Structure 1
Amino acid sequence: MPEPSRSKELPVSLLTDPVMIEACRARDFGRVFQLVKARAGIYPSMIARRCDLTPSRVGEVIDGRRQLLHMDVIERISDGLRIPGHMLGLARRTWETPQNLTVTPREPTGSAPAADAQSAAGLPGTDVDGILALAAERDLSPSTLSALHSAIMDYWRRDDEHGGETLRPAVVGQLRYVVGLLKEGIPSPMRDGLHGIAAELARLTGWTYFDARQYHQARVYFTEALALAKAIDDHRFMANVLACMSLQATYQDKPGDALALVAAAQDQARAAVGTTPRVLAMLAMREAFAHATLGNHSATHTAISEAHTYFGRIGADDPDPAWVAYFDETKLVVDTGIAHGRLGEAVLAEPLITDALRREHRTNHRARAFHAFWLARTQLQRGKLDEACHTAMDALAPAAAVRSQRVAGHLREFHEQLEPFRREPAAVAFESRLREALPRQVSGSPRP
């Protein structure tokens, strides 16, 4: 039977109505069908079509002249009318979990489909690109470096708004272009500037893989960024890359690695000339994340205190590198809340994340979704089920607007933590909204 479309979802008000809940619990399908007709406008002929029943059989059930007892029929009613399985005493149905929450192995990269090959037929091959590049005259100047830096800043902005997966080919292409320039024996200081740009592009590429939870590839590019920065003794940028690798280690549940990497980052920052308080505040917060992942309360609180102390020393004229500009007061507050949340200190975490989310820029879809799911989890820890589900509902729009496996992972975690409460009206309403926001585009189970 085809999977019902998202427009065929029953109203949340019906699914959470005590009369409907009791009718489903008793498997009183006469009453269920009457409620579906009255409240959702789904008439008996449509019920029959959706549930693979005959219209006469549906009419007999509504009139009380027939009962539906066979399990395969009950399953078809659940699937056809989109009644969550638990309401009818069934296991969770496949359509209840959107495909976005199902972890599937990434398909191996193969050759392009024939249609794609045809559309690209008018483009020169990579060997011709290389020949043309050799023939072209290089006109490198400070303005060239400025243009490349501007492109990187634009990539980061688009990464925040949409996720980095679609940007990655362009970023990698630009990285290889800059690395190619470095092989041509360009004199300093232009060479040092290109090394710095290559390091930034390699870190950005690593970040896009990290956000896609492809951790091995992320580490490869982070390591390349580290080597490029080391070649020009840019200790501050080395600290930045090591901090990224530390954050990735917390996601991989390797807190020992996370702590070692952030300690190395702090060493690099201290060795650098002109390291600003903002950089040191960001690194202290990454240290707090590592300690929190280890469950060390006192060390986490000390690191949080250091981050706030450093942040308080920031001056208006500090020569901050562009890559740390994101670490503003809002980021400090939300990261403090997340560090407390990692420790299970939901009472401390909730007001901080709430405050930061209120300030978050509307176009930063990934951060808004990411932080809203953190807030929902802390509210759930505090027993605020209705508030948690409402917060998570608000996060679905920005989550759908950005391609980020990290955000999808946080949604999955919240969805799993909601499992003990899935019969509660707030949870039913959230799951219904979730299916609308992230529909599962698969076929339903065949009729037994």
Structure 2
Amino acid sequence: MPASQPQGALLPVLLASPEWQHACQKRDFTRIFQMVKLKAGIYPSRITALCGMTPSRVGEVMAGRRGLAHIDVIERVADGLRIPGAMLGLAHRPWEIPASAPENERSPAPVSRLAHGAAATGSVAGESLDHLLPLADSQVTRSTLAALRSSVEDYWRRDDQHGGAPLRPAVVGNLTYVTQVMRHAGEALGRDLRSLAAELARLAGWAYFDACQYSTARIYFSQALGLSLGQEDRLFMANVLSCMSLQATYDGNPAEAIALACKAQDVARGIGDQPLVMSMLHLREAFAHASLRDASACHQAIDRSRDFFERARGRTDEAPSWVRYFDETKLIIDSGIALARLGEAPRAEPLIAEGLRREASAHQRGRALHAFWLAGTQLEQGKLGDACHSAELALDLTAVIDSPRVAGHIHEFHRRLAPCAREAPVIRFEQRMRESLG
């Protein structure tokens, strides 16, 4: 069935359930169809119509006698049942991005009409998920809000430890739910729910950034900015702009990255004295200048970052919670990475090595990225053995990390080893790489 036609929609609580996510990851369509029937009330006849399949084939899949392997059929199922592409290992589906909406109302996981599911579920024809969910969850309270905030904190911890890519379905499900119920909440609770939705949109953007799906990440970051309008939290806007600056650097748009970092600085500067925030933002600017090979501007940004950090000493408690990760260790590492991007490997290596030595073992995704940067600076200086040894540390950490961003760094490092392919350290590294990445 064409994606442009009206279709049924699955409830966010189903999309966020571990059982559903596991079935999607395995592409177990027997379990997927069974759960769609039991949990969403979409019966086989409706699955047949939504997914453009024959009744006999749907019946065989539900009975476990047949699977789905052809990508075009899997895409039709994703589109027909509104299963986010990332859940099934597909590209972002076109319907996941709204065609047009006011910027501050734009939702990358738009609510779909239940016209097709109405007859099967017994609901009133034309009722929307946007309308039904608030009726079912009218008991949203401050306790609900606290629980949702706790979930967001947990998602950030898991992102730091294991990478953001696997969190996307759950985060987007929560974002969809919160943006729906906040429209029907009272003024005070609605304002807090809107703030929570903005943070979930930022988290979704970060998760897609870590998955190297930059265009989708930008949509969520833009949604976070839109939701933050009128919230009187301009520091949050500076935070989102800093995330977008880092993504632009990775995406090969350093001029845009500089503009975003400088805009974030302007926003933070307008709030008052925020030295820790400014320190972090100047290093984001330094990354972008380094990508342009502008040594003078890069060094100036690093110097400003260090100056602001010195002003922030002893005042960490005054800074927003989201920037407190930016401690002296992070300052050292990021300064080294900026110099590595600039091509000043001899100056970058000791900084990254010292930062990596200090870094907490729980920050596994960060340690893997930083080990790659250390390996790159060592390779740049002809220290082949040291470089491969450092890269092996990143490989060791990939066993507990699902981060395409980290995997991309490792493959790029491997590409740079091509001229030394017959050297023993490279042969050993390639063997470890095969064992770790398959």
TM-score by length of 1: 0.69
Counterpart residue number, 2:33: 117
Question: Any idea what the Cα deviations from partners look like across 1:302-331, whole Å, max 9, x if unmatched?
Answer: 110111111111234642222112211111
Aligned to 1:344: 343
Aligned to 1:73: none
Q: Secondary structure at the match of 1:167?
A: helix
> Structure 1 residues 351 and 125 mapped into 2: Cα distance closer, same or farther (>3 Å)?
farther
What secondary structure does 2:38 align onto? coil
For 1:399, the equivalent position in structure 2 comes to 398
- Counterpart for residue 276 of structure 2: 278
Q: Which residue does 1:424 correspond to in 2?
A: 423
Look up the match of 1:323.
Answer: 322
Q: 1:239 corresponds to which residue?
A: 238
Unaligned runs of 5+ in 1: 1-108, 440-448
Match of 1:299 in 2: 297
Matched residue SS, 2:165: coil
Q: CA RMSD in A?
A: 2.3
Q: Which residue of 1 aligns with 2:71?
A: none
Within a 5 Å distance, the mapping from 1:150-169 to structure 2 comes to 150-169=150-169
| Structure 1 pair 432–294 and aligned structure 2 pair: CA distance change class (3 A) | same
Q: Residue 137 in 1 paired to residue 53 in 2?
A: no
Matches within 5 A, 1:241-280: 241-273=240-272, 276-280=274-278
Q: Deviations over 1:154-192 (max 9, x none)?
A: 10111122222221111111111211122115213x333
Q: Kindly tell me: are residues 125 and 156 of structure 1, through their superposed partners in 2, closer, same or farther at Cα, counting changes over 3 Å? A: farther
Distance in 1 separating the partners of 2:380 and 2:40 = 57
Deviations, residues 183-207 of structure 1 (Å, cap 9, x unaligned): 115213x333222211110000001
Distance 1:299 1:137, change over 3 A: same
What is the aligned length? 329
Write the distance in 2 (CA, Å) between the matches of 1:121 and 1:421: 56
TM-score under structure 2 normalisation? 0.71
Range with greater deviation from structure 2 (264-273 or 293-302): 264-273
Q: Describe the SS at the equivalent of 1:122.
A: helix
- Give the letter for the 1:177 counterpart: Y
Q: Kindly provide the amino acid, as one letter, of the partner of residue 152 in structure 2.
A: I
The whole-number CA distance in structure 2 between the counterparts of 1:198 and 1:333 is: 33
Q: Which structure is larger by alpha-carbon Rg, 1 or 2?
A: 1
What is the rounded CA distance, in whole Å, between the counterparts of 1:135 and 1:155 in structure 2?
25
Listed as ranges, the gaps of 5+ residues in structure 2 are: 1-24, 43-113, 115-120, 122-128
Q: Which amino acid aligns with 2:320?
A: P
User: How far apart are the structure 2 equivalents of 1:180 and 1:318?
Assistant: 34
Amino acid at match of 1:134: L
CA contact (8 A) 2:316 2:324 kept: no
The corresponding residue for 2:94 is: none
Q: Shift in Å at residue 114 of structure 1?
A: 3.1
Q: Secondary structure at the match of 1:383?
A: coil
- 1:153 Cα deviation (Å)? 1.2
Q: Where does 1:11-410 land on structure 2 (aligned, <5 Å)?
A: 113-125=29-41, 131=132, 133-141=134-142, 143-188=143-188, 190-273=189-272, 276-314=274-312, 315-316=314-315, 318-410=317-409
Contact 1:234–1:272 (CA under 8 A) maintained in structure 2 = no
Q: What SS does the aligned partner of 1:137 have?
A: coil
Q: How much has 1:120 moved relative to structure 2?
A: 4.8
With CA pairs under 8 Å and 6+ residues apart, which has the higher RCO, 1 or 2?
A: 1
